[in-house]
A and B are shown apart, each in its own frame.
Chain A
Amino acid sequence: MAHAVFLILSRILAVLVVAFALAHPAAAQTLDTAALAKGFASRSFDDVEKAVTQLAASGSPRAEPILRALNDRLLVIAADGALLIDKAGAYENAFTGEAVTPTAKPTPIRVNNKIRTTLAAAMGALTLMSPDRQKRLEAAEAVFKSRDASARPLLDKAIAAETDARVKARLIEARAAGVLLDQTATEAERVEAVATIRARGDQDAKGLLSSLPAEVPPAVKAAADRAITAIEAELALWNVAQNGYYGLSLGSVLLLAAIGLAITFGVMGIINMAHGEMVMIGAYVTFVVQETIRTSFPGLFDYSLLIALPLAFLVAAIVGMAIERSVIRFLYGRPLETLLATWGISLILQQAVRTLFGPTNREVGAPSFMSGAFDLGGLVITYNRLWIIVFTLVVFFALLMLLRFTALGLQMRAVTQNRRMAAAMGIRTNRIDMLTFGLGSGIAGLAGVALSQIDNVSPNLGQGYIIDSFMVVVFGGVGNLWGTLVGAFTIGIANKFLEPYAGAVLGKILLLVFIILFIQKRPRGLFALKGRAVEA
């Protein structure tokens, strides 16, 4: 009994202290901090819940940290009844933010599930006012999904205060969701709400409209049904577009892996089974460059890929030229033997990398400009995929230019078309062979830099691309870069459109079967070379 009396007294004292403390901060003037602190300190969960609701409704800037602390079980009551926030052992006054050193260890405020629910809703509503745009956006989404009609006053306030167009739109949608489900709203208001949600037009909007309760008036229901149909049609369209984008992305990866092969196989006729390993070498060069930058020049991290590009090209090109000089040049005119020898080289390269770097995946980080994504209408576009598409096209056209407008390109074409005549004109065909093979390998190295961003950098990296690359080159037509481009994007897009119906693996199998059949029909690919070169 005496204990209880003491407790009450101490709380009254605490209230007085808090009231004093709150005399000056302007924002706190609107807060009945005494009553709130009393509520939080109460042993009754109902009182605590009431305090949460009051605090949330007050709109005070301190409300958010206090509620967050409560949620994290960091809101404590000092022995003197003061409400404190536990900041990793140091305490501050919950309402003023002043540092406080309690005499005894304060007791945390207990919460039950009911309070947690109230807390979550209150915090969602509160963060609508957060100065952080991203937080406001998330909060608006959370309210939209909770379909909480009671948050409407707060939403109205937030909408009035909002300056960012995108957040504002989300807020209005969240409000509409509340209105739609509010039985007290007029029919006109609710139909208008349907229109707002229809304009949002995504999966969530469709979900909300299709799960309307039975009580809605027929007019609202009819409007909702129309909206659902419209949204579905729109979503289907976006879905096609998204698949198309994924297809472009896959196609660009295929193209990137295959361009080098289009040179070595398509132009020179060498079956280079070690092509995938050139890609792998490029990826490992990227890894080494990033490691060096991480340990020595951390400031350059965002440029690591740009630095890796020329190095990867050089390393892969040098390895490629070494292979050409030491093995392949003895096997010209014997494509099947070349296939076997280069397969052997690919095994050796894989094992060499495994010995040097270990068999496990190596981590290659993404520079800041390649991480994240943005929405384009209903499309989600990730920056890394977008950059890879751009990069692929740049490499492709650069190669095209090189073949068409440089002396090296001219000599390459001459040697491919008529080796003996080219030699008679004074072209050193051996040197051109070496350089062409080096070019193809170097481009594979460039591909490795890009692929390190979306694939595991492991000794097996190249193996995953070799069959696909050959398919692309053969499908597109050997000796024709444009064919490779069309082949890669056709295969990529077809693959992504097959996937939803057949599943990823079956889609791929179907595509392989299709290519096998296609080669029967047109053994020389989509864009076949004509004339004597065919028989060579």
Chain B
Amino acid sequence: MLTAKLLADRRGLIFLAILAAAAILVPALNLLTPEGSALHVPTYAMSLMGKYLTYAILALALDLVWGYCGILSLGHGAFFALGGYAMGMYLMRQIGPRGVYGNPVLPDFMVFLNWKELPWYWYGFDWFPFAALMVVAVPGLIAFIFGWFAFRSRVTGVYLSIITQALTYALLLAFFRNDMGFGGNNGLTDFKDILGFNIQSDATRAGLFALTALTLAAAYLIARSVVMSKAGKVLLAVRDAESRVRFLGYRADNYKLFVFTLSAMMAGIAGALYVPQIGIINPSEFAPGNSIEVVIWTAVGGRGTLVGPAIGAILVNFAKTTFTTGALAPYWLFALGGLFVLVTLFLPKGIVGTASDYLARRRAAGAKPEPVAAPTPDPAE
């Protein structure tokens, strides 16, 4: 029954179809067409699109907590970066003796800091399955512990937003320290290969792109199945009237904790896909500003629509790349800032929410008095 419900959603089907097409077409156009051909997709463009897709996963994860549960996390960038660091640690260990200092065990920055042995928390990261587990486990665990305390003591609304921001800020400061053993200021970079494939080669990049597109599709399906389930209804109820949910006998904290942890894990996976395609992870990914940007992607696309945030992430980042690489670079922050203000003032439901409202209205006005599709969430907090 759930499957039927999942597939009944036309918007989602189109989204999944586009993703599947992208997962096949973009790598194919990159690998099979000759360079210079009109259809050729250059590798850098593919990596760029791959980056947008990882951001789309991140925005989707945020939508799950913000759009459906009313938890505005200003720390999702931290979960993204933690996943990225877990992947980065794996990639660092894969360099082996090919580093500048040629140390078979220690990454270059540790040799540089004159460390003698690998810190204990780096153990196991040379083994991919362990690293892959950590990609979800570390953000998940931190989100669980953080959420456990925060939700149980009923820290809600802006207070929660502010302490999630403090969380990512504390992590930012922590990862800047050389003593932490995560490369300090420079972060982790100079990766050579992943699972034995050269990380620079077109084929690996193509594979990563396809994997990212499929992961986004999977993340969408998971998120969709959560919000369509009975638990999803409780989440919506928590968003709209938490106290009433509690009075009805539901343990609102547990629902919130579940969705927050799940969302953090998704963000971690997004980060893990981001790092091999970009080739570096450094503490600036923890910057509070980054996390707030994720919120605006979600808001632009339309919170509470799942598809919307993914589209918002891609659109805003495409605009960012276009702006910041051209003569318009100095105006990017004006544009981004303006976007924040205008979207909150005039487009509270985002692109997708507004569009589907419009369509629903037209359909209703068109012929028969058909019941309007599932109401989009109230933008009010």
Contact = CB atoms under 8 A, between A and B. Distances in A.
B119 interface: no
Contact of B341 (A271, A341, A350): A341
Contact of B344 (A337, A467, A519): A337
Interface stretch (B52-60, B149-157, B251-259): B149-157
A338 B157 CA distance: 12
Contact of A523 (B159, B165, B343): B159
Contact of A348 (B299, B338, B380): B338
Contacts of A521: 153
Contacts of A517: 149
A505 B283 CA distance: 14
A30 B258 CA distance: 95
Interface stretch (A59-67, A282-290, A325-333): A325-333
Nearest to B303: A336
A348 B334 contact: yes
B333 A341 contact: no
A505 B173 contact: yes
Contacts of A463: 289
B159 A474 contact: yes
A348 B337 contact: yes
B158 A340 contact: no
B159 A520 contact: no
A151 B100 CA distance: 58
A351 B380 contact: no
Interface string A337-374: 11111011111101110110000000000000000000
Nearest to A474: B162
A337 B379 CA distance: 9
A470 B380 CA distance: 23
Contacts, number: 127
A251 to B, nearest CB: 18
A508 interface: yes
B163 interface: yes
A341 B340 contact: yes
A340 B299 contact: yes
B337 A520 contact: no
B38 interface: no
B170 interface: yes
A513 interface: yes
Contacts of A322: none
A340 B296 contact: yes
Interface residues of A, number: 43
A527 to B, nearest CB: 15
A516 interface: yes
Q: Which of B72, B158, B289 has the most CB of A within 10 A?
A: B158
A515 interface: yes
B214 interface: no
Nearest to B166: A512
B4 interface: no
B226 interface: no
B354 interface: no
B381 to A, nearest CB: 5
A8 interface: no
Nearest to A463: B289
Contacts of A341: 340-341, 344-345
Contacts of B331: 351
Contacts of B157: 335-336
Contact of A271 (B149, B158, B299, B338): B158
Interface in A168-216: none
Q: Which 6 interchain pairs have the tightest Cβ spacing? A: A344-B340, A347-B337, A348-B337, A351-B333, A512-B170, A344-B337
18 contacts: A273-B292, A334-B379, A334-B380, A335-B157, A337-B348, A340-B292, A345-B340, A347-B336, A348-B334, A351-B330, A463-B289, A467-B288, A474-B159, A506-B177, A520-B149, A520-B153, A521-B153, A523-B154
Interface of B: 72, 146, 149-150, 152-155, 157-159, 161-163, 165-167, 169-170, 173-174, 176-177, 288-289, 292, 295-296, 299, 330-331, 333-334, 336-341, 343-345, 348, 379-381
Interface of A: 271, 273, 327, 330-331, 333-341, 343-348, 350-352, 354-355, 463, 467, 470-471, 474, 505-506, 508-509, 512-513, 515-517, 519-521, 523
